[in-house]
Amino acid sequence: MLLAIVLYTLGLLGTAFGAVSFFSLFTWYEDDLIYRLLKPIDNALPLILLVLWAAGILVIFFYYLRKALRYIDALSEASNLLVSENDEWITLPTELIQVEERLNRIKQDSIRNARAAKEAEQRKNDLIVYLAHDLKTPLTSVIGYLTLLRDEPQLPEQLRQNYIAIALEKSERLEELINEFFEITRFNLSQLHLEIGEVNLTRMLEQITHEFLPLLSDKALTFQLDIEPDLVIPCDRNKMERVFDNLIRNAIHYSYDHSPIKIRAFQEEDVLNIHVANRGKTIPQDKLERIFEQFYRLDTSRGTRTGGAGLGLAITKEIVERHGGTITASSENETVEFKIVLPIAS
């Protein structure tokens, strides 16, 4: 608008100067009609120019005011589309093309996030339904075998021991399912607070892998460690132990029998790199992109024994990111690898 006012002012002054110069080229007489018409204008030229300038300013002001109001109306309509759930693109005047592109990006991100949250909520609800259903099976078995033990005091000792073993196994399964309920509740209701301290990552990884050795025997798995000595990092010890616990459990669960689980840890400039890799089925790219989502499980079968509540990797990612790090997953040629990058400085 300021530029328009300046250009109008210069144009008005230039036109007046040009007109005066042009008519000065001629000789005028008092009885000439044109002279009688132009003389009053010449006498009142400053006032006329002032009136024309003011009128022009008003026209320019109302033009740009109307234009601004149209922009406001367009932005108001765009704001309504921004919060709507439909996929309709926001369209603004050409002058607002950058705003239009930014609003469309925000809208697409909002729709994507809303859909992801809705899908996660649906997966959680489905999982709770499955868990509630699966609770009945071991509970019914426990009650059945305990009832037999109570009502049949003359059972042979061997059969009695078998019933006790089965009841204990079903009770342990019941405990696992209940723990999954608690895991879901803790993830939804608790905040992740970190208590940072200096931790020897080398010793932590060696200790954790040693504790997992008994679980390797069922599938004849082995650990292959390639860890630099005395890697020290500022972190929350308990939370970081949970990260490696989740990754190693995941590797054990999805590894081929008689295969190694490889763990590498090394320093590179001002970051630490930790790689956990195992031999197993190649994960399709579409599933790999969702592997860190809440309640997402690679194994979609109903049996909750195959993969738990689908929270382990989501919690792992949150813990790593709270420490200022990143975690990524890759899978090809029947190898699955998780890579963690953590800053050394607090």
Average pLDDT on 200-220 reads 90
- Indicate whether 112 belongs to any domain: no
Average pLDDT on 250-269 reads 92
Q: Tell me which residue range forms the domain holding 206.
A: 197-343
Tell me the two tokens of residue 244.
């490696």
User: Would you state the pLDDT for residue 133?
Assistant: 60
Pick the more confident residue, 331 or 122.
331
What residue has token string 């050394």?
344
User: Would you state the pLDDT for residue 325?
Assistant: 93
pLDDT band at 330 (very low <50, low <70, confident <90, very high): very high
Tell me the two tokens of residue 281.
């089925």
Last residue in a domain, options 163, 189, 215: 189
Over 80: is that where the pLDDT of 237 sits? yes
Using alpha carbons, list the distances in angstroms from residue 208 to 213, 240, 258, 321, 344. 9, 11, 20, 21, 21
Q: Among the listed ranges 120-129, 153-162, 179-188, 214-223, which one has the minimum average pLDDT value? A: 179-188
- Indicate whether 287 belongs to any domain: yes
- Indicate whether 318 belongs to any domain: yes
In this structure, the answer to whether residues 276 and 141 fall within a common structural domain is no
| Average pLDDT for the chain | 81
Q: How many domains does the chain have?
A: 3
Pick the more confident residue, 31 or 328.
328
In this structure, the answer to whether residues 270 and 287 fall within a common structural domain is yes
- Indicate whether 272 belongs to any domain: yes
Average pLDDT on 298-325 reads 69
In this structure, the answer to whether residues 205 and 182 fall within a common structural domain is no
Average pLDDT on 322-339 reads 92
In this structure, the answer to whether residues 289 and 246 fall within a common structural domain is yes
User: Would you state the pLDDT for residue 302?
Assistant: 42
pLDDT band at 261 (very low <50, low <70, confident <90, very high): very high
- Indicate whether 218 belongs to any domain: yes
Last residue in a domain, options 155, 189, 223: 189
Last residue in a domain, options 35, 58, 83: 83
Nearest alpha carbon to residue 149 among 162, 130, 131, 139:
162
User: Would you state the pLDDT for residue 305?
Assistant: 46
Average pLDDT on 157-173 reads 85
Pick the more confident residue, 45 or 295.
45
Over 70: is that where the pLDDT of 192 sits? no
Over 60: is that where the pLDDT of 306 sits? no
In this structure, the answer to whether residues 8 and 79 fall within a common structural domain is yes
Q: How many CB atoms lie within 10 A of CB 51?
A: 11
8 A C-beta contact, residue 300 and residue 123: no
Please give the model's pTM, rounded to 2 decimal places.
0.52
Over 60: is that where the pLDDT of 187 sits? no
Q: Which residues pair with 130 in a beta bridge?
A: none
What is the tens place of the pLDDT at every residue in 81-103? 776 666 677 777 777 788 778 87
For the domain that residue 260 is a member of, what is the CATH number? Answer: 3.30.565.10
User: Would you state the pLDDT for residue 260?
Assistant: 94
What is the tens place of the pLDDT at every residue in 130-150? 666 667 767 877 888 888 888
In this structure, the answer to whether residues 257 and 147 fall within a common structural domain is no
Average pLDDT on 257-286 reads 92
Average pLDDT on 15-37 reads 75
In this structure, the answer to whether residues 160 and 261 fall within a common structural domain is no
In this structure, the answer to whether residues 123 and 56 fall within a common structural domain is no
- Indicate whether 299 belongs to any domain: yes
What is the tens place of the pLDDT at every residue in 36-92? 777 777 777 788 888 888 888 888 888 878 877 777 777 777 777 776 666 677 777
- Indicate whether 101 belongs to any domain: no
Query: To the nearest whole percent, how much of the chain has pLDDT over 90?
Result: 21
For the domain that residue 158 is a member of, what is the CATH number? Answer: 1.10.287.130
In this structure, the answer to whether residues 181 and 207 fall within a common structural domain is no
In this structure, the answer to whether residues 184 and 202 fall within a common structural domain is no
Q: Among the listed ranges 89-98, 119-128, 205-214, which one has the minimum average pLDDT value? A: 119-128
| Dihedral sign, Cα of residue 335, residue 336, residue 342, residue 344 | negative
Over 90: is that where the pLDDT of 222 sits? yes
In this structure, the answer to whether residues 208 and 181 fall within a common structural domain is no
- Indicate whether 310 belongs to any domain: yes
Average pLDDT on 284-304 reads 68
What's the one-letter identity of residue 226? D
In this structure, the answer to whether residues 162 and 130 fall within a common structural domain is yes
User: Would you state the pLDDT for residue 180?
Assistant: 66
User: Would you state the pLDDT for residue 6?
Assistant: 86
pLDDT band at 303 (very low <50, low <70, confident <90, very high): very low
